[in-house]
Structure 1
């Protein structure tokens, strides 16, 4: 535990009941690891309804940005920015959407969702769990991972 600026004690350790921490089969069913970043991991979401959709998950267990100290927060946001730039370079969307939720999956992670003008969701928040999902064959996911890795500028 550590004390935050507001004096609240926060738990900041790995949790075996969290699929991001345990890297279990639930995680594998939802996403594919693409790259280790400074303090987080970049994953390609298996649901590719939004082509290039990825998630940046903080490597240790935390649920809120304010639980990170200043250095961790800076490094995490650098990771998010680096990943977004790589996705942008790979897919050339009109806009990147960033989503931080966590009510159902309480682990600090950011959804990076490329958006394109003229599509159904343009101008709206992306639908996290669309009624029909686009999945790819293993080669399709491999290609996405490769193109995003090729765009990572470290």
Structure 2
């Protein structure tokens, strides 16, 4: 595993900060709050090293990454009171292992169907709202 020069998850550059806010380091990954908040509490868990597929991880790393995703999903669901967490691992256009954790709410957007990756119009929050939302999720991480 390595870093890829043009990968914003590896570089942690402005492209990443334009889309998400770092919430917490996990055992082998980082939890980010996605700035677009149509699905209140939507986050991403991004693996620390540069791989694109789960099968590229050694068994120990795979177990740790899976545990990170489960830990984050539980924290988000508890913090947000979501009815369900949807999981999305695509990487078609951005080849770096990351999982979208998307809280879903009965009678909320896209309930009963696949979440919309980049909804239009976008739901953006104030700095204070992002801070409060992040604190709520971090508190549930333990």
Deviation of the 1:119 alpha carbon: 2.2
Write out aligned runs for 1:66-81 (5 A): 66-81=55-70
Structure 2 partner of 1:82: 71
Unpaired stretches in structure 1, ≥5 consecutive residues: 1-11
Deviation of the 1:32 alpha carbon: 0.2
Larger Rg belongs to:
1
Deviation of the 1:23 alpha carbon: 0.2
Write out aligned runs for 1:134-145 (5 A): 134-145=123-134
**Cα displacement string for residues 73-120 of structure 1 (whole angstroms, at most 9, x for unaligned residues):** 000000000000110110011110000000011100000000011124
TM-score, normalising length: structure 2: 0.98
Structure 1 distance, partners of 2:72, 2:101, is: 8
Structure 1 partner of 2:17: 28
Q: Which of 37, 40, 44 is 1:51 aligned to?
A: 40
Unpaired stretches in structure 2, ≥5 consecutive residues: none
Structure 2 partner of 1:118: 107
Structure 2 distance, partners of 1:130, 1:105, is: 18
TM-score, normalising length: structure 1: 0.90
Structure 1 partner of 2:89: 100
Structure 2 distance, partners of 1:139, 1:114, is: 20
Residues 90 and 129 of structure 1, relative CA distance in 2, 3 Å threshold: same
Structure 2 distance, partners of 1:71, 1:65, is: 12
Structure 2 distance, partners of 1:149, 1:93, is: 16
